[in-house]
C-alpha cells in the first residue's frame, strides 16, 4: 500500500487497541482484500480505504470516532453496501476509514405491548423481519436488497421499498435512535415513544442523513400485527393514466389493505424475460404496463379474495385493467414479487445504464412520462427506457439504458450528464424530487444545489457545519464541503 504518515500508523494502532487487531483490516495485512468494502454495488466506483474498522458495540464506535476526530480522519459508515448512489464506500484517497457496522447485529429487545423492536444498526433487514415474525409481528420494510442491507443503512438512506404505500418509509417506522456524534459522544435516544414534543426532532434529522451527521448504532422500530391473509394480483393496464386510475380504485376499495402497488413497463419486464427466462413473466407481451398489487387483510383469506375480485371486476369494467391474474397461493405470490424484484438485476445483465429514483405527485406522473419519453427519444435517439417503480408512492425508477448494441461505457461518458439534466429538469417542472428513496450520496451531490430550495439548502449546510465542523462524517456525500 502507500506509505502511511505517522498519524495514520498511530491511528491504526489505536483503532486496533479499541476493536481488536482482527477487526481493523488494512491493505498491509498479509493477503488483505478490502474490495468488498471499497467497491460500490453498481460497480461504478472503487475506492481505497485507509482501513476497514469493525466495532462490536456502541462504546467501541464512540472510541473509534474520538480517535478519528483527533487524527482528523474521515469516516465512511457502511452497512450492507447495497446503496445505489455511491454513499457507503471510501473515496480513492487512501485516507478514509470504512466503519463497517455488520458485527453490531443483535436484536436487543422486543416490547409486544408497545409494538416495538430494538435492534443494532448492522442487523440485516431480513433478520429483523424474521425476528419480528417469530414473535408474531410484522416489520413491514421490504426491498429487493433485504437479504444483505442493514437497518442502519435503511435508516441512513431513509429507504423506501414496496410497502411504503401503507406503512411509510423507514423514517416513519422509527421511534428512537442510539447515535454516536461526530465528536464521539453517545446520544441515548432509544425511546419507544410515539409522542415526544421536547424540542427539535433530532431523530428525523439523523434518518436520511447518509452518515454525514453521525453513526446510527441502534434503533427502536415500530411493529405491526401480522395480516391474517395477504393476496397478490398482477394486472395488465393499457396506459400510465389507467395505472393511476387503478391506484385510485384500489385505495377506495381496499383502504388500509392496500400494502403494495408497483408499476412495471414492458421493456423492463422484457429484460427479466430475456435474462431470467425461468421466471415466466405474465401478460407482459400484450400490454405497455403491468401493475403488481397486494391486499393485506386483517380478517381472513376469503374476505381478502372477495375484496380483490370485486376491485378487479370494477377495474375491468372501467377499462383501466385489460387482464389480470390473482396468485392462488403464497408460492405464486412470491414468484410474482420475485419477478418485480429481479428488474434491477436484469438491468445489470443488460449493461451499463443511467439510474433515476424520482418522485412526482401521482396525479402528474402520466404527463411526466409521456413528455419525458418523447423528449429523450428526440434528444438521445435509440435510448431504451427501463421504467418501473413504486407508483403507489409516486416514485419511479425512470432508468435509461444505452441503445441496443451500443458500448455502455461510451454511452455513459457521452450522455450521462445530459440525460440527468434532461430528466431532472422535467422532474423540477412537474414539482418532483430528484431522489425519492436512494438518497444523494456522491452521485447527485453536484445536482442537489441546482434543484433543492435555496433556503432549505442553506439550513442543511448550517446543520452540517454545526454537527460536524471538522467534516469527518462521510465527507463529499449529500453536501460538498466547498459549498458549505
Ligand atoms: P450501505 O449501502 O452500506 O450505506 C448506505 C448509506 O447509509 C451510506 O451513505 C452509508 O454511509 C450510510 N450508512 C450505513 N450504515 C449507517 C449507519 N449505521 N449509520 C449512519 N449511516 C449509515 N432502496 C430503496 O430505498 N428501495 C428499494 O426498493 C431498494 N431496492 C434495492 C434493490 C436492490 C437489488 C439493491 C442492490 C438496492 C436497493 N435499494 C433500495 C438500495 C439500498 O438497498 C438501500 O439504500 C439500503 O437502505 C442500503 O442499506 P445498506 O445497509 O446496504 O447501506
Ligand atoms: C427497486 O425499487 O427495485 C429499487 O429501488 C432498486 C432499483 O432502483 O433498481
Ligand atoms: Zn425502489
- By most ligand atoms within 8 Å of CB, the mutation choice from 397, 435, 444 for ligand 2 is 397
What is the C-alpha separation between 350 and 267, in angstroms, rounded?
11
What pLDDT does 1 receive? 57
Dihedral of the CA atoms 50, 218, 83, 27 (nearest 10)? 20
What is the C-alpha separation between 166 and 225, in angstroms, rounded?
13
- The string of pLDDT tens digits covering residues 163-172 is 999 999 999 9
Query: Which residues partner with 179 through β-bridges?
Result: 187, 216
State the pLDDT confidence band at 481, using cuts at 50, 70 and 90.
Answer: confident
- The string of pLDDT tens digits covering residues 406-435 is 999 999 999 999 999 999 999 999 999 999
| Distance from residue 439's CA to the centre of ligand 1 (Å) | 9
Residue 43 confidence (pLDDT) above 90: yes
What pLDDT does 482 receive? 76
Residue 295 confidence (pLDDT) above 80: yes
Strands laid side by side in the 24-25 sheet: 24-25, 49-53, 96-100, 75-78
Q: Indicate if ligand 1 lies below 6 Å from the C-beta of 77.
A: yes
| Distance from residue 70's CA to the centre of ligand 2 (Å) | 39
Query: Which residues partner with 266 through β-bridges?
Result: none
What is the C-alpha separation between 427 and 401, in angstroms, rounded?
19
Handedness of CA 335, 341, 342, 346 (dihedral sign): positive
- By most ligand atoms within 8 Å of CB, the mutation choice from 344, 353, 434, 435 for ligand 2 is 344
Using alpha carbons, list the distances in angstroms from residue 293 to 311, 391, 392, 404: 11, 10, 10, 31
Q: Please tell me the number of the ligand nearest to residue 359's CA.
A: 3
Q: Indicate if ligand 2 lies below 6 Å from the C-beta of 397.
A: yes
Q: Indicate if ligand 1 lies below 6 Å from the C-beta of 87.
A: yes
For the full predicted model, state whether its pTM sits above 0.85: yes
- By most ligand atoms within 8 Å of CB, the mutation choice from 42, 125, 143 for ligand 2 is 143
Protein residue with its CA nearest to atom 21 in ligand 1: 211
- By most ligand atoms within 8 Å of CB, the mutation choice from 149, 346, 389 for ligand 2 is 389
Core vs surface per residue 252-281: b (16+ CB within 10 A) or e: ebbeebbbbbbbbbbbbbbbbeeebeebeb
What is the C-alpha separation between 357 and 84, in angstroms, rounded?
10
What pLDDT does 3 receive? 87
Q: Indicate if ligand 1 lies below 6 Å from the C-beta of 170.
A: no
Residue 7 in grid coordinates? 498519524
> What CATH number has the domain spanning 6-100?
3.30.43.10
> What is the percent of the chain with per-residue pLDDT over 70, rounded to a whole number?
99
Handedness of CA 139, 145, 148, 152 (dihedral sign): negative
- The string of pLDDT tens digits covering residues 191-245 is 999 999 999 999 999 999 999 999 999 999 999 999 999 999 999 999 999 999 9
Handedness of CA 153, 155, 157, 160 (dihedral sign): positive
Q: Atom of ligand 2 at shortest distance to CA of 341?
A: 3
Residue 151 in grid coordinates? 437497518
Q: What is the arithmetic mean of pLDDT over 30-41?
A: 97
Q: Please tell me the number of the ligand nearest to residue 159's CA.
A: 1
Q: Exposed, middle or buried, 386 (CB in 10 Å: 0-12/13-18/19+)?
A: buried
Q: Indicate if ligand 2 lies below 6 Å from the C-beta of 144.
A: yes
Residues 229-429, CATH architecture: 2-Layer Sandwich (3.30)
What pLDDT does 13 receive? 98
What pLDDT does 65 receive? 99
- The string of pLDDT tens digits covering residues 237-281 is 999 999 999 999 999 999 999 999 999 999 999 999 999 999 999
- By most ligand atoms within 8 Å of CB, the mutation choice from 61, 78, 86, 204 for ligand 1 is 78
Helix (H) or strand (E) holding 91: none
State the pLDDT confidence band at 2, using cuts at 50, 70 and 90.
Answer: low
Q: Atom of ligand 1 at shortest distance to CA of 78?
A: 3
Q: Atom of ligand 1 at shortest distance to CA of 154?
A: 47
What is the C-alpha separation between 136 and 158, in angstroms, rounded?
25
Q: Are 340 and 347 in contact (CB under 8 A)?
A: no
Protein residue with its CA nearest to atom 9 in ligand 2: 344
Name the pairing type of β-strands 49-53 and 174-181.
unpaired
> What is the percent of the chain with per-residue pLDDT over 90, rounded to a whole number?
98
Residue among 350, 267, 354 at smallest CA distance from 85: 354
What is the C-alpha separation between 437 and 206, in angstroms, rounded?
15
| Distance from residue 439's CA to the centre of ligand 2 (Å) | 12
Residue 446 confidence (pLDDT) above 90: yes
What is the C-alpha separation between 190 and 306, in angstroms, rounded?
42
Exposure on the CB side of residue 138, measured as CA atoms within 13 A: 17
Q: Classify residue 31 by its DSSP letter.
A: T
Residue 267 in grid coordinates? 421493456
Residue 416 in grid coordinates? 450521462
Residue 148 confidence (pLDDT) above 90: yes
Residue 468 confidence (pLDDT) above 60: yes
> What CATH number has the domain spanning 107-225?
3.30.465.10
Query: Which residues partner with 233 through β-bridges?
Result: 293, 326
- The string of pLDDT tens digits covering residues 340-378 is 999 999 999 999 999 999 999 999 999 999 999 999 999
Q: Are 354 and 444 in contact (CB under 8 A)?
A: no
Using alpha carbons, list the distances in angstroms from residue 19 to 15, 35, 180: 6, 21, 16
Phi, psi of 197 (to 5 degrees): -105, 50
Q: Are 85 and 435 in contact (CB under 8 A)?
A: yes
Q: Atom of ligand 1 at shortest distance to CA of 144?
A: 32
Q: What is the arithmetic mean of pLDDT over 69-74?
A: 98
Protein residue with its CA nearest to atom 6 in ligand 2: 344
Amino acid at each position: 500500500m502507500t506509505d502511511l504518515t505517522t498519524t495514520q500508523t498511530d491511528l491504526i494502532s489505536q483503532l486496533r487497541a479499541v476493536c481488536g487487531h482482527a477487526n481493523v483490516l488494512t491493505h498491509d495485512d498479509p493477503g488483505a482484500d478490502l474490495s468488498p468494502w471499497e467497491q460500490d454495488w453498481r460497480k461504478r466506483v472503487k475506492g481505497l480505504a485507509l482501513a476497514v474498522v469493525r466495532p462490536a458495540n456502541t462504546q467501541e464506535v464512540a472510541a473509534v470516532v474520538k480517535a478519528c476526530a483527533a487524527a482528523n480522519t474521515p469516516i465512511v459508515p457502511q452497512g450492507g453496501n447495497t446503496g445505489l448512489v455511491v454513499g457507503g464506500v471510501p473515496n480513492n484517497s487512501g485516507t478514509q476509514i470504512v466503519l463497517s457496522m455488520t458485527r453490531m447485529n443483535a436484536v436487543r429487545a422486543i416490547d409486544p405491548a408497545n409494538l416495538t423492536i430494538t435492534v443494532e444498526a448492522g442487523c440485516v433487514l431480513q433478520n429483523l423481519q424474521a425476528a419480528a415474525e417469530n414473535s408474531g409481528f410484522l416489520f413491514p420494510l421490504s426491498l429487493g436488497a433485504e437479504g444483505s442491507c442493514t437497518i442502519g443503512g435503511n435508516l441512513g438512506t431513509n429507504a423506501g421499498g414496496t410497502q411504503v404505500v401503507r406503512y411509510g418509509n423507514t423514517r416513519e417506522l422509527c421511534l428512537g435512535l442510539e447515535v454516536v456524534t461526530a465528536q464521539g459522544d453517545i446520544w441515548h435516544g432509544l425511546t419507544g415513544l410515539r409522542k415526544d414534543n421536547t424540542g427539535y426532532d433530532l431523530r428525523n434529522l439523523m434518518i436520511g442523513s447518509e452518515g454525514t451527521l453521525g453513526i446510527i448504532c441502534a434503533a427502536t422500530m415500530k411493529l405491526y400485527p401480522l395480516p391474517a391473509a395477504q393476496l397478490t394480483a398482477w394486472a395488465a393496464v393499457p396506459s400510465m393514466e389507467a395505472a393511476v386510475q387503478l391506484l385510485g380504485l384500489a385505495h377506495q376499495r381496499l383502504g388500509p389493505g392496500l400494502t403494495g402497488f408497483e408499476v412495471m413497463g414492458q421493456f423492463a419486464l422484457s429484460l427479466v424475460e430475456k435474462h431470467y427466462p425461468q421466471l415466466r413473466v405474465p401478460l407482459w407481451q400484450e400490454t405497455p404496463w403491468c401493475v403488481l398489487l397486494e391486499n393485506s387483510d386483517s380478517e381472513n383469506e376469503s374476505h381478502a379474495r372477495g375484496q380483490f375480485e370485486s376491485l378487479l371486476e370494477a377495474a375491468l369494467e372501467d377499462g383501466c385493467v385489460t387482464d389480470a391474474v390473482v396468485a392462488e397461493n403464497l408460492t405464486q405470490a412470491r414468484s410474482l414479487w420475485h419477478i418485480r424484484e429481479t428488474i434491477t438485476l436484469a438491468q445489470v445483465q443488460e449493461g451499463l445504464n443511467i439510474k433515476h429514483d424520482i418522485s412526482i405527485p401521482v396525479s402528474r406522473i402520466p404527463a411526466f412520462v409521456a413528455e419525458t419519453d418523447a423528449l429523450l427519444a428526440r434528444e438521445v435517439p435509440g435510448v431504451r427506457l427501463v421504467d418501473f417503480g413504486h407508483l403507489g408512492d409516486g416514485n419511479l425508477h425512470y432508468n435509461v439504458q444505452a441503445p441496443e448494441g451500443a458500448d455502455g461505457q461510451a454511452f455513459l461518458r457521452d450522455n450521462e450528464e445530459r440525460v440527468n439534466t434532461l430528466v431532472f429538469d422535467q422532474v423540477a417542472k412537474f414539482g418532483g424530487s430528484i431522489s425519492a428513496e436512494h438518497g444523494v450520496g456522491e452521485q447527485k451531490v453536484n445536482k442537489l444545489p441546482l434543484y433543492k430550495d435555496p433556503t432549505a439548502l442553506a439550513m442543511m449546510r448550517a446543520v452540517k457545519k454545526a454537527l460536524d465542523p471538522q467534516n469527518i462524517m462521510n465527507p463529499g456525500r449529500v453536501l460538498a464541503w466547498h459549498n458549505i
